[in-house]
């Protein structure tokens, strides 16, 4: 019993850790897509940021410099996407895919040129990563029944980016629903003409949304390489950007439901890690590959069957042209 | 042309001087002058494509003029964006409403006038101001309702409120009655009157002469991008205005002999249509159309007419009920054509034509497998172009250029091409949806004459139109639809706009009596 309780706590903590990049990327995507920009380039931005974070941290020895660099690179990629989709009214999917492919190739090439480690960027120093933070009183309270271990094992002991991700959801919800920016954001994704005739620039609104997207995606990428992991490896984002996009659709572009979708995917991932090499009753040992596919299978099943009709922002993916 | 202002009078609320605007090769506004007196309702009338909307969009800052000046209350203003126009006290209600459907009324009104970077404070203030405006101008609206749940008439009031909330002293309305029932239109006119009484200025763009006569103080007529006349409404007539609009004399009333209906061609029995989202669009509809008569289906757009038309033409599967053509069921669209059913769809650009196709290709669309056009699986291009040329001449499609792309023709000419295609294949039943939407008066006259001629040749015609005048002048029998059901049937002779209007609003005659 004691053992099962510990297992549950560990599983929950690991779910939070795995959900962090998804949450950040999904909130990033939420800003873009609510403004009417399809962002299939979440994956590429995250991967680019992961590389930038590792490279900058390895060169300067500072995780914080790594984080800022990551946000900078992801921001630049978001602006590139905006330049293609907003300024030049290009196809959003094509631009996103282009960013994904470019980054996937460029990262390892630059890593190889700069660090000569077969396309990897290793992180060695303590200060180059975000370490776990022990929240106040975690040790003292650990003995309090039930709540104590939850606080000590699940709430406390993550690195700062996990807490940032947790904060990003209520913050996003507040911005989207309670502020002027949020009202305009939601409007520009639904009916850009209404925004234009209300005297607000559609272009500026969409660029602003993409700026936030870039910054949030940057944090997500930095988390992969200098917080959760140590160092950059080829394709290390492993489809998390797409999972975030799926969570965004599953959560119908609303911050709180999207959060739960991220947690669900992360939970599947956490289970997957636990199940590897474990003998299951009746089934026996399931091949690792099959277990690893679990979160992705779940995504397909959920999106195909259980979501119902996801109603996207009406103007999503359409370049805004004044009708003539 | 200069506009005289009596000495001592107020300067015009809005004056446009020498406004010129081109879109590529299209010269949409040619040196336009216009003066609108404060506290009046000013109508701008002209055919589609005459440049009315362009002119007003320039005044609202949506487009920028290539040259010319804008004066508001006698002072020159530079208006380069809607923001500038709003600051100058100009508001506009567009033909297609600029509303965000999932938002509430309040959110829509706040958009762009939030009054602070969070919503809370501004929303409370706006609520008060809106209640006052609603009272002053009888603009009753539930400000917490979602736009998507509101009928179009109310959505329009939201647009007016939106403009007034931003402090508009000059209100521009672009084709405001296109989507309204006659009663809703009357209510709108009362609102406009009360705006005028409070000293505000209203500009109404329309192509409907009746409205101009009913509601305006002054009227300006545009034709082909030019301002051709200014008249005080009291000193002009519909006939004069129509002539000024078209540039020649036009018959406003279609001449037709009484119908001689024969055997039924189309029989519809208890038809039900449920759409993709599960909404019942057509509810237990039964009627028949006989050879030699035109049956008109009237109703405000979106009350099931489109779905009915699609079900009848075989494009959409009926959920239950029967559609019989010459006593035989229609299986699908191809079968319908084989059974001599012609269909002029409501949305010619989406369903009537292929935009990128050349005129001759569009002219045989759906009939392309007939031996006259196809041999061994290849199109007989030369022959088709020959047919197309004949039809273009007979139906007055201009320019007579079978190789020109579909989208290069004006709306009226596209429509005539579709009409030619469907009529020239000699159908026994012709379904016609919105035959004159976006079509200029000259072409309307032509299309109406053709439809009458076809009726007189003993064909059955089912006409679906949201233009009540069109139904009234063409149909021998009128069926009114509301919310998917038939609310009444009138003979053409006994029908008038008021009775149909009640039925269009869902008020059945026995209930009203």
Q: Taking CB atoms and an 8 Å limit, are B119 and A197 in contact across chains?
A: no
Identify which has the larger pLDDT, B410 or A312.
A312
Identify which has the larger pLDDT, A284 or B192.
B192
Mutation for B interface: A173, A174, A183, A184, most B CBs within 10 A: A183
Chain B: nearest CA to A29, how far in angstroms? 20
Phi–psi pair at A288, nearest 5 degrees: -50, -45
Q: Tell me which residues of chain A, numbers 197 to 226, contact chain B at a CB-CB cutoff of 8 Å.
A: 197-200
Q: Note the ipTM here.
A: 0.88
Q: Taking CB atoms and an 8 Å limit, are A184 and B60 in contact across chains?
A: no
Chain B: nearest CA to A73, how far in angstroms? 29
Question: What one-character DSSP code corresponds to residue B405?
Answer: B
Q: Is the pLDDT of residue B253 over 80?
A: no
d(CA B368, CA B372): 8
The predicted pLDDT at position A307 comes to 62
Percent of chain A scored above 70 by pLDDT? 97
d(CA B140, CA B131): 9
Q: Tell me which residues of chain A, numbers 21 to 50, contact chain B at a CB-CB cutoff of 8 Å.
A: none
The predicted pLDDT at position B35 comes to 96
Contacts of A200 in chain B (CB under 8 A): 83, 111-112
- Residue pLDDT, tens place only, B139-160: 889 999 999 888 888 999 999 9
Q: Is the pLDDT of residue B2 over 60?
A: no
The predicted pLDDT at position B3 comes to 46
Q: Tell me which residues of chain B, numbers 62 to 91, contact chain A at a CB-CB cutoff of 8 Å.
A: 62-63, 81-86
Instruction: Give the largest Cα separation in chain B, rounded.
Output: 81
Nearest residue on chain B to A175, judged by CA atoms? B118
**DSSP letter for each residue of B114-142:** -SSSBSHHHHHHHHHHHHHHHHHTT----
Q: Is the pLDDT of residue B45 over 50?
A: yes
- Residue pLDDT, tens place only, A173-210: 999 999 999 999 999 999 999 999 999 999 999 999 99
Q: pTM (2 decimals)?
A: 0.81
Contacts of B60 in chain A (CB under 8 A): 197
- Residue pLDDT, tens place only, A97-129: 999 999 999 999 999 999 988 889 988 888 899
SS3 A202: helix
Lowest mean pLDDT among B62-66, B249-253, B260-264, B431-435: B249-253
Q: Is the pLDDT of residue B307 over 70?
A: yes
- Residue pLDDT, tens place only, B211-242: 888 899 999 999 888 999 999 999 999 888 88
Q: Taking CB atoms and an 8 Å limit, are A191 and B99 in contact across chains?
A: yes
d(CA A157, CA B257): 90
The predicted pLDDT at position B142 comes to 93
Q: Does B51 contact A at CB distance below 8 Å?
A: no
Query: Across the interface, which of B85, B98, B116 has its CB nearest the CB of A180?
Result: B116
Contacts of B158 in chain A (CB under 8 A): none
Residue B7 — very low, low, confident or very high, per pLDDT cuts 50/70/90?
very low
Contacts of B92 in chain A (CB under 8 A): 197
Q: Taking CB atoms and an 8 Å limit, are B82 and A198 in contact across chains?
A: yes
d(CA B338, CA B341): 7
Whole-number mean pLDDT of chain B?
A: 89
Average pLDDT over residues A130-148: 85
The predicted pLDDT at position B108 comes to 96
Q: Does B172 contact A at CB distance below 8 Å?
A: no
Buried b (16+ CB within 10 A) or exposed e, B274-310: beeeeebbbbebebbbbbbbbbbbbbbeebbbbbbbb
Chain A: nearest CA to B59, how far in angstroms? 12
Contacts of B81 in chain A (CB under 8 A): 199
Are A197 and B62 a contacting pair, CB within 8 Å?
yes
Chain B: nearest CA to A192, how far in angstroms? 9
Identify which has the larger pLDDT, A299 or B391.
B391
- Residue pLDDT, tens place only, A210-258: 999 999 999 999 999 999 999 999 999 999 999 999 999 989 999 999 9
Are B21 and B58 a contacting pair, CB within 8 Å?
yes
Q: Is the pLDDT of residue A279 over 70?
A: yes
Question: What one-character DSSP code corresponds to residue A302?
Answer: I
d(CA B180, CA B408): 31
Contacts of A179 in chain B (CB under 8 A): 117-119
Domains of chain A and CATH, by start: 2-124+145-306 (1.10.3470)
Query: How many Å from the N-terminal Cα to the C-terminal Cα in chain B?
Result: 54
Q: Taking CB atoms and an 8 Å limit, are A180 and B119 in contact across chains?
A: yes
The predicted pLDDT at position A113 comes to 93
Query: How many Å from the N-terminal Cα to the C-terminal Cα in chain A?
Result: 70
Nearest residue on chain A to B115, judged by CA atoms? A180
d(CA A228, CA A21): 9
d(CA A106, CA A252): 33
- Residue pLDDT, tens place only, B183-212: 888 899 999 999 999 999 999 998 788 888
Closest Cα to residue B222, out of B207, B212, B236?
Answer: B207
Q: Does B101 contact A at CB distance below 8 Å?
A: yes
Contacts of A171 in chain B (CB under 8 A): none
Domains of chain B and CATH, by start: 40-61+89-246 (3.40.50.300), 264-351+427-512 (3.40.50.300)
Question: What one-character DSSP code corresponds to residue A52?
Answer: H
The predicted pLDDT at position A271 comes to 87
Strands annotated E in B40-107 = 41-46, 67-72, 75-77, 90-93
Q: Is the pLDDT of residue A317 over 70?
A: yes
Average pLDDT over residues B492-500: 86
Residue found by looking up tokens 């033409």 in the block:
B313
The predicted pLDDT at position B251 comes to 63
Are B261 and B476 a contacting pair, CB within 8 Å?
yes
d(CA B65, CA B59): 9
Q: Taking CB atoms and an 8 Å limit, are A178 and B116 in contact across chains?
A: no
The predicted pLDDT at position A323 comes to 60
Query: Across the interface, which of B100, B116, B118 has its CB nearest the CB of A190?
Result: B100
Q: Which residues pair with B297 in a beta bridge?
A: B464, B479
Cα atoms in the 13 Å half-sphere on the side-chain side of B3: 21
The predicted pLDDT at position B151 comes to 84
Contacts of A196 in chain B (CB under 8 A): 62, 82
Cα separations (Å) of A156 from A13, A134, A225, A269? 9, 6, 21, 21
- Residue pLDDT, tens place only, B337-378: 889 999 999 888 788 899 889 999 999 998 988 899 999 989
The predicted pLDDT at position B155 comes to 93
The predicted pLDDT at position A306 comes to 64
Query: Across the interface, which of B60, B111, B118 has its CB nearest the CB of A187?
Result: B111
Q: What is the 3-state secondary structure (H, E, C) of B167-223?
A: CCCEEEEECCCCCCCHHHHHHHHHHHHHHHHCCCEEEEEECCHHHHHHHCCEEEEEE
Contacts of A182 in chain B (CB under 8 A): 119
Residue B513 — very low, low, confident or very high, per pLDDT cuts 50/70/90?
very low
Q: Tell me which residues of chain A, numbers 276 to 315, contact chain B at a CB-CB cutoff of 8 Å.
A: 314
Question: What one-character DSSP code corresponds to residue B358?
Answer: B
Contacts of A184 in chain B (CB under 8 A): 111-112
The predicted pLDDT at position A274 comes to 81
Helix orientation angle between A180-190 and A2-34, rounded to the nearest 10 degrees:
70
Q: Is the pLDDT of residue B1 over 60?
A: no
- Residue pLDDT, tens place only, B454-480: 999 999 999 999 888 889 889 999 999
The predicted pLDDT at position A310 comes to 67
Percent of chain A scored above 90 by pLDDT? 66
Backbone dihedral region of A201: left (phi > 0), alpha (psi from -120 to 50 degrees) or beta? beta
Average pLDDT over residues B98-113: 94
Query: Across the interface, which of A179, A182, A197 has its CB nearest the CB of B98?
Result: A197
Query: Across the interface, which of A180, A186, A199 has its CB nearest the CB of B118?
Result: A180
Are B218 and B37 a contacting pair, CB within 8 Å?
yes
Positive or negative torsion for Cα B92, B96, B100, B104? positive
Nearest residue on chain B to A312, judged by CA atoms? B102
Query: Across the interface, which of B23, B94, B119 has its CB nearest the CB of A197?
Result: B94
Whole-number mean pLDDT of chain A?
A: 91
């Amino acid at each position: 019993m004691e053992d099962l309780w510990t297992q549950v706590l560990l599983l929950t903590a690991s779910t939070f850790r795995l959900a962090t990049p998804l949450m950040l990327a999904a909130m990033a995507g939420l800003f873009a897509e609510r403004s009417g920009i399809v962002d299939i380039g979440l994956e590429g931005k995250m991967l680019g940021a992961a590389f930038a974070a590792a490279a900058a941290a390895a060169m300067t020895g500072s995780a914080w410099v790594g984080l800022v660099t990551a946000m900078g690179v992801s921001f630049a990629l978001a602006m590139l996407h905006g330049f293609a989709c907003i300024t030049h009214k290009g196809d959003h999917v094509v631009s996103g895919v282009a960013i994904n492919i470019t980054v996937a190739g460029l990262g390892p090439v630059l890593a190889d040129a700069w660090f000569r480690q077969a396309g990897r960027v290793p992180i060695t120093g303590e200060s180059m990563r975000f370490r776990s933070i022990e929240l106040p009183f975690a040790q003292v309270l650990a003995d309090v029944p039930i709540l104590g271990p939850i606080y000590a094992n699940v709430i406390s002991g993550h690195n700062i980016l996990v807490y940032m991700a947790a904060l990003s959801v209520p913050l996003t919800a507040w911005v989207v629903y309670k502020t002027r920016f949020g009202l305009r954001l939601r409007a520009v994704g639904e009916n850009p003409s209404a925004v234009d005739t209300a005297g607000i620039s559609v272009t500026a609104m969409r660029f602003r949304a993409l700026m936030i997207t870039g910054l949030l995606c940057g944090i997500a990428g930095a988390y992969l390489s200098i917080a959760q992991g140590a160092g950059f490896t080829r394709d290390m984002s492993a489809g998390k950007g797409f999972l975030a996009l799926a969570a965004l659709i599953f959560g119908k572009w609303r911050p709180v439901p999207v959060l739960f979708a991220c947690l669900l995917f992360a939970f599947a991932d956490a289970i997957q890690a636990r199940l590897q090499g474990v003998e299951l009753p009746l089934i026996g040992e399931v091949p690792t590959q099959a277990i690893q596919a679990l979160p992705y299978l779940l995504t397909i099943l959920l999106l195909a069957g259980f979501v119902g009709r996801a109603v996207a922002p009406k103007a999503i993916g359409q370049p805004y042209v004044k009708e003539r | 042309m200069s506009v005289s202002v009596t000495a001592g009078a107020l300067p015009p609320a809005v004056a446009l001087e020498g406004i010129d605007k081109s879109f590529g090769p299209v010269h949409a506004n040619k040196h336009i002058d216009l003066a609108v007196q404060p506290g009046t309702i000013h109508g701008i009338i002209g055919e589609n494509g005459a440049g009315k909307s362009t002119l007003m969009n320039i005044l609202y800052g949506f487009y920028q003029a290539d040259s010319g000046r804008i004066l508001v209350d006698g002072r020159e203003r530079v208006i380069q964006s809607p923001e500038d126009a709003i600051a100058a006290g100009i508001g506009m209600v567009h033909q297609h409403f600029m509303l965000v459907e999932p938002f509430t009324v309040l959110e829509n009104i706040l958009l762009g006038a939030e009054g602070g970077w969070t919503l809370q404070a501004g929303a409370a203030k706006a609520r008060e101001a809106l209640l006052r405006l609603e009272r002053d101008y009888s603009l009753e609206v539930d400000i917490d309702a979602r736009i998507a749940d509101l009928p179009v008439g109310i959505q329009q009031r939201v647009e007016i409120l939106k403009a007034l909330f931003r402090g508009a002293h000059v209100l521009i309305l672009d084709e405001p009655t296109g989507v309204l029932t006659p009663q809703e239109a009357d209510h709108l006119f009362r609102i406009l009157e009360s705006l005028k009484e409070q000293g505000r200025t209203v500009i109404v763009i329309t192509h409907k002469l009746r409205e101009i006569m009913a509601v305006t103080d002054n009227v300006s007529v545009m034709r082909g991008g030019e301002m051709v006349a200014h008249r005080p409404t009291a000193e002009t007539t519909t006939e004069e205005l129509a002539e000024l609009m078209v540039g020649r004399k036009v018959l406003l009333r279609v001449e037709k002999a009484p119908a001689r209906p024969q055997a039924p061609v189309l029989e519809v029995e208890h038809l039900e249509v449920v759409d993709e989202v599960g909404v019942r669009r057509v509810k237990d509809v039964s009627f028949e159309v006989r050879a030699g008569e035109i049956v008109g289906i009237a109703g405000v757009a979106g009350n099931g007419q489109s779905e009915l038309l699609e079900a009848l033409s075989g494009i959409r599967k009926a959920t239950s009920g029967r559609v019989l053509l010459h006593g035989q069921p229609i299986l699908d669209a191809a079968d319908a054509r084989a059974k001599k059913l012609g269909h002029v769809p409501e949305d010619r650009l989406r369903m009537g034509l292929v935009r990128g196709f050349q005129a001759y290709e569009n002219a045989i669309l759906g009939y392309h497998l007939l031996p006259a056009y196809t041999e061994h699986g290849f199109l007989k291009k030369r022959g088709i172009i020959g047919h197309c040329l004949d039809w273009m001449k007979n139906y007055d499609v201009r320019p007579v250029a079978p190789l020109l792309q579909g989208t290069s023709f004006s709306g009226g000419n596209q429509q005539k091409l579709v009409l030619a295609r469907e009529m020239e294949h000699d159908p026994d039943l012709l379904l016609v949806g919105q035959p004159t939407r976006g079509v200029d008066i000259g072409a309307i006259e032509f299309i109406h004459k053709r439809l009458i001629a076809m009726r007189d040749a003993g064909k059955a015609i089912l006409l679906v139109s949201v233009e009540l005048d069109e139904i009234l002048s063409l149909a021998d029998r009128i069926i009114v639809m509301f919310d998917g059901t038939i609310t009444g049937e009138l003979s053409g002779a006994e029908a008038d706009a008021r009775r149909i209007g009640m039925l269009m609003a869902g008020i059945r005659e026995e209930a009203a009596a």
